[in-house]
Amino acid sequence: MKICVGVFFGGRSTEHEISCISANQALHALNRDKYDVLPIYISKENEFYTGDALFDLSNYADIVKDPSSHLDKVAIYKDGNAVKVRPIKGLFKKEMQIDVAFPIVHGTNVEDGTLAGFLQMLDIPFTSCDVLGGSLGQDKAAMKDVFASHGIPMVEHFVIYGNDFEEGYDSYFAKAKQIGFPLIAKPANLGSSIGIEVIKNQKDFREKIRECLKYDFKVVVEKMISDLMEVNISVIGSQEEMRCSAIEEVTNGFLDFDKKYQPGGSKGGKVSGSKTPAAKGASKGMASTVRKVPADLSEEKKEEIETIARKVFRALNSYGCVRIDFMIDRSSDKVYCNEINTIPGSLAFYLWKHDGIEFDEECDILISNALKRYASRSRKTFSFDTNILDNYRKK
């Protein structure tokens, strides 16, 4: 019997639409000789849906507005050792069972460990990071704390909390001056450059931080690298065994959301130095990004980046396929780790493809690792028998 893979995507996130695009690519890449594929769409209201219409991206503009126009609402629940997907309406609709969950979600309320927690409760093998990995990967402030404790190089930064920004203004401002302008301010929990502000000088500080605080309670403020080279690497694997992909260089990384994702924005997401055409939305936050695979880097720099990437993967409790983004200050040639994307756009398939791993093979690796992790987790002890509750029996 084939393994049934449930591909989960969407969710209450600013990156909902990007997730639909990434998931659609995977829905078509998964090898049908090996797997039955069940798309599970999470609406913006956090309801689950399935249906064949999900295989065709041209339906999505309507689906996102009104999922029930094309799809069946489903309940997902555990039944003994099985995880079942049951249509809620329509008495004659068939109930299905999924064996592995394949989350392709981006951003808050899904990628941040929320969906991982749900899947862990269902006790089903799944291909992405667990709760801790997902949540550390989402929160830029927490992520940097872990970077610091593992000696992972990053640009100088501090964190502003919304509840005491006005009261603590002087001390925050002093920290900003100490790092020196220009600075970059980022909402701790968003992605795709949403809400990011460049603070050119002291005069703009208060206003820009207030703007940024509209998006999040916590804001990360960091030194802006003016002479910037951005490079990304993907890592696939587990805490025991990991593998690094080719490194890409991206330009136009810092664009606002519309420019990044609207067709015709900038250069249309071209890959140069590689035969791989980047699909629209191919790298979350980078549809309009120009990418070069492989990046033009010395062997030494490549090694340095790979070594840091492995360290990051380990430190952040990562799993599955992640993309780790770096910034190189061209003026000093220093490498800084910027962030991790725990479920990167398009699962970074274009980087693996460059290394000779086609997208279907990448999916195979992720599914087989998920099954291995599940088996090894099942061997761990999560409960033990005790008679402690017997003491509370009515005598």
Ligand X SMILES: Nc1ncnc2c1ncn2[C@@H]1O[C@H](COP(=O)(O)OP(=O)(O)O)[C@@H](O)[C@H]1O
In the complex, which residues of this chain contact ligand X (CB under 6 A)? 155, 184, 186, 191-193, 196, 222-225, 228, 230, 253-254, 285, 325, 327, 338-339
Minimum CB separation of residue 326 from ligand X in Å reads 10
Minimum CB separation of residue 195 from ligand X in Å reads 8
Q: Which amino acid is at 123?
A: D
Please say which residue, 248 or 325, places its beta carbon nearer to ligand X: 325
d(CA 179, CA 45): 41
Cβ-based neighbours of 168, under 8 Å, separated by 6 or more:
none
**Interaxial angle between packed helices 131-138 and 140-149, expressed in degrees from 0 to 180 and rounded to the nearest 10:** 100
Minimum CB separation of residue 196 from ligand X in Å reads 6
Please say which residue, 5 or 176, places its beta carbon nearer to ligand X: 176
From the list 246, 325, 321, the residue with the least C-alpha distance to 289 is: 325
> What region does 264 belong to: left with phi over 0, alpha with psi -120 to 50, or beta?
left
Cβ-based neighbours of 238, under 8 Å, separated by 6 or more:
319, 369, 372, 373
From the list 107, 104, 93, the residue with the least C-alpha distance to 23 is: 104
Minimum CB separation of residue 29 from ligand X in Å reads 24
Minimum CB separation of residue 289 from ligand X in Å reads 9
d(CA 300, CA 288): 29
Please say which residue, 146 or 228, places its beta carbon nearer to ligand X: 228
d(CA 193, CA 233): 19
Minimum CB separation of residue 159 from ligand X in Å reads 14
**Can you read off the two tokens belonging to residue 272?**
């140069």
Please say which residue, 63 or 287, places its beta carbon nearer to ligand X: 287
393: exposed, middle or buried (C-beta count within 10 Å: 0-12, 13-18, 19+)?
A: exposed
Please say which residue, 133 or 285, places its beta carbon nearer to ligand X: 285
Minimum CB separation of residue 336 from ligand X in Å reads 8
Please say which residue, 228 or 297, places its beta carbon nearer to ligand X: 228
Q: Where are the beta strands (DSSP E) in 299-385?
A: 320-329, 334-341
d(CA 232, CA 80): 42
7: exposed, middle or buried (C-beta count within 10 Å: 0-12, 13-18, 19+)?
A: buried
Minimum CB separation of residue 184 from ligand X in Å reads 4
Please say which residue, 99 or 230, places its beta carbon nearer to ligand X: 230
Please say which residue, 35 or 172, places its beta carbon nearer to ligand X: 172
Please say which residue, 72 or 249, places its beta carbon nearer to ligand X: 249
CB 251 within 8 A of CB 296: no
Please say which residue, 101 or 327, places its beta carbon nearer to ligand X: 327
Minimum CB separation of residue 2 from ligand X in Å reads 37
Minimum CB separation of residue 189 from ligand X in Å reads 9
d(CA 339, CA 129): 15
Taking the C-alpha atoms of 363, 367, 372 and 378 in order, what is their torsion angle to the nearest 10 degrees?
A: 150
